Structure 1
Amino acid sequence: MSFYTSLSGLKAAQTDLSVTSNNVANVGTIGFKKSNTEFGDIISSAPLQSSAMAGQGTRLRGIQQQFTQGGFESSDRSLDVAISGQGFFVTKAPGGAGQISYTRNGSFTVNKERYVTDGAGAVLQVLPTDKQGTVTATSLSSAKNLQLPLTTGSSKATQNLSMTVALPSDADLPADRAAYATSGYTFSRSDPESYNYSTATTVYDAAGAAVPATVYYTRTSAPTASDPNSNWQARLFVGDKEVSSDGNAAADPATPLTLTFDSSGALTAPTGAVDYAAVLPTGASSAIDLSFDYGSGTTQGLTAFSRKATSQDGYAAGQLDNISVGSDGLVTATFSNGESQALGKLMLATFANPEGLRQLGDAKWSATGLSGEPIVNEAGANGMGSIQSGALEQANVDVTEELVALISAQRNFSANAKAIETANNMTQTIVQLRA
């Protein structure tokens, strides 16, 4: 019997050695969790058995993984993420009925379809959110694949245009110029003699196409003894079409906007935004409906003509510029036009008994009856850990501790081998006894 008792010890030591060796081998594996072997003694039990009974060896009760926190390693990639605290990332294998797996390995990449995947090609799962980044559903069935936008963001037609300019008080009247002394004053954007100054900016149609917007300023009256005000006409052209300031798209010719300044150079009219008529310039996909505001910053004085500021609220579709992951797991795409879009929040899962998870390799696990059903939520909610972007969780393996365990396993193996040798010598001695 002692042979089999010692043999069970040999097998136990060998298993312990294998588990410890596996821990050491994966010290560099991202998100790896070390394992410990648990053994129990074997006792032959019977109703009339004496309490002074020798054991019959040892048996492997199980190999338990230790889901303690590993250290963090800094990274320069925003899609390298780590969980500080409890939880697992949720991934799904490609295909309609792909296997759901759970991992602490936060090294994710983007495949050719722009899905965010782990090293095995499984797609990272996120919780759906609204435009403000608030989670709208927290069940496992509501999970969606994290995919970087195939489009480059949305475009927006310009609706509000504001401009502040400084107009010189000593500007002449084009009608008094020699070229128009006999023929009379007629405006033409191709004739610089028919206006004083011009300034250009860019507006956008609904499809995001850039359209030039040019304003031509013509002084129409100077202060007199009876009227201290100065008047300018501002003609707005969007693309190749002049826009009427009275809101009448059918006006022909278009009505220019009159800017009136008092004797101090302050703008007295218009006093607010002016709604121009809708215009469809050549090449635009849809009509552009503008509200133009010169504000209180537009003045007339003893200064050179200048444009102080221009702003408009339209923009073209932008190129994907950046992906960021917040501490709450919110994945946000930022575009070159300044627009941002919430793509979802990283889904985290916890289990009542994580030691019951089934290992799949590559620092991934699947749920079992022993682990219980996954409890999913966003980072920071109901005991879930927080997300750290630009970091990876290292294996929770202490090399020094594992080397000591290797020495211990080796000594246990040697001791059991020695016990077998001793039992063999005793048996051989008994066989060689002579009557």
Structure 2
Amino acid sequence: MSFFTSLSGMRNAETDLRVISNNIANAETAGFKKSNAQFSDLVATGGSTDPRTTPGIGATVSSISQDFGLGQLEQTGRVLDVAINGDGFIATADGISGDITFTRNGNLQLIATGELQDANGNFVQAFPVDANGDTTSNVPNNVVVPTVNAAGSALSTISIDARGIVGATYSDGSNEPVAKIALASFAATGGLRPIGQSKWEATADSGAPEYGEPGIGNFGQVLSGSLERSNVDLAEEMVSLLTAQRNFQANARAIDTATAISQTVLNLQR
């Protein structure tokens, strides 16, 4: 039994090492959120078992939870780099399937047709606005910046302010609000499913997304010219890495000890 107990410990240490390695590998990934492995013990019990003599039979992974704590905000000076200073996710739609995913990586780009996309080509979701920048609908949609205004002047630059308003400036000097970036929140953020590329999708555990405007209620403000770095603390991860390695070695040593004891018992029986 000691072999299987130590084997479970080695498997758990391996899982812990994989989680820590993934955190370290994404230390420079914008919008990445680190994960933590949680473990629980296993006990062989029965109705007639004396609780004072109940042995443990190892451990198992109980959960791998995500830490959605805010990462450091780094200034980039690029207008289309946006960070959320507080709660909320940027919603993006797949150009083919239309599936909505959520991210904290605000590295955006404007393509030739005027659509505002994330770095992976998904369309940023925003609320329509009137000429004063006030929201006219609570249903978000793709951001499309007109490349030519009503006077026939070409698009010169775009801007994004703290309220998430995407503004377009044209060659004739006019400035027009185009849309207001929609932020999403969830009843249970820990229930979001990571799908890679610093993106998550909603699940039954997270609940449906609730959309709101930046800087209103619990939603954070949008900071243009900045990106949110990962919330991985390399010093903390290195300590965890050493601990997981020691756990693996200790369980391996326990198997060696159990093997030696078994060999001794077998020799005595000869």
Letter paired with 1:143: P
1:236-289 deviation per Cα after TM superposition (whole angstroms, max 9, x unaligned): xxxxxxxxxxxxxxxxxxxxxxxxxxxxxxxxxxxxxxxxxxxxxxxxxxxxxx
User: What is the rounded CA distance, in whole Å, between the counterparts of 1:411 and 1:381 in structure 2?
Assistant: 47
User: What is the rounded CA distance, in whole Å, between the counterparts of 2:127 and 2:264 in structure 1?
Assistant: 73
Percent identity reads 42
1:87-126 deviation per Cα after TM superposition (whole angstroms, max 9, x unaligned): 000000003x411000000001123433111122111010
Please report how far the alpha carbon of residue 10 of structure 1 lies from its aligned counterpart in structure 2 after TM superposition: 0.2
Q: Structure 2 length normalisation: TM-score?
A: 0.97
Give the match's secondary structure for 2:51: coil
User: What is the rounded CA distance, in whole Å, between the counterparts of 1:113 and 1:337 in structure 2?
Assistant: 20
1:371 pairs with one of 206, 211, 224: 206
2:223 pairs with one of 388, 400, 422: 388
Give the match's secondary structure for 1:359: strand
Larger radius of gyration: 1
1:87 aligns with 2:84: no
User: What is the rounded CA distance, in whole Å, between the counterparts of 1:397 and 1:71 in structure 2?
Assistant: 10
Q: Which runs of 5+ in 2 are unaligned?
A: none
Give the match's secondary structure for 2:216: coil
Letter paired with 1:45: T
Please report how far the alpha carbon of residue 51 of structure 1 lies from its aligned counterpart in structure 2 after TM superposition: 0.7
1:340 aligns with 2:175: yes
What does 1:91-110 align with in structure 2 at a 5 Å threshold? 91-95=92-96, 97-110=97-110
Please report how far the alpha carbon of residue 428 of structure 1 lies from its aligned counterpart in structure 2 after TM superposition: 1.0
User: What is the rounded CA distance, in whole Å, between the counterparts of 1:338 and 1:358 in structure 2?
Assistant: 44
Aligned Cα root-mean-square deviation (Å): 1.1
Task: Tell me which residue corresponds to 1:132.
Answer: 132
Give the match's secondary structure for 1:27: coil
Is the helix fraction higher in 1 or 2? 2
Runs of 4+ more than 4 Å apart? none
Task: Tell me which residue corresponds to 1:207.
Answer: none
Count of aligned residue pairs for this structure pair: 269
User: What is the rounded CA distance, in whole Å, between the counterparts of 2:169 and 2:104 in structure 1?
Assistant: 26
Please report how far the alpha carbon of residue 76 of structure 1 lies from its aligned counterpart in structure 2 after TM superposition: 2.2
What does 1:353-432 align with in structure 2 at a 5 Å threshold? 353-432=188-267
What does 1:233-272 align with in structure 2 at a 5 Å threshold? none
Q: Structure 1 length normalisation: TM-score?
A: 0.61
1:51 aligns with 2:47: no
User: What is the rounded CA distance, in whole Å, between the counterparts of 1:102 and 1:109 in structure 2?
Assistant: 16
1:391-427 deviation per Cα after TM superposition (whole angstroms, max 9, x unaligned): 0000001110000000000000000000111111111
Q: Which runs of 5+ in 1 are unaligned?
A: 156-316
User: What is the rounded CA distance, in whole Å, between the counterparts of 1:20 and 1:118 in structure 2?
Assistant: 27
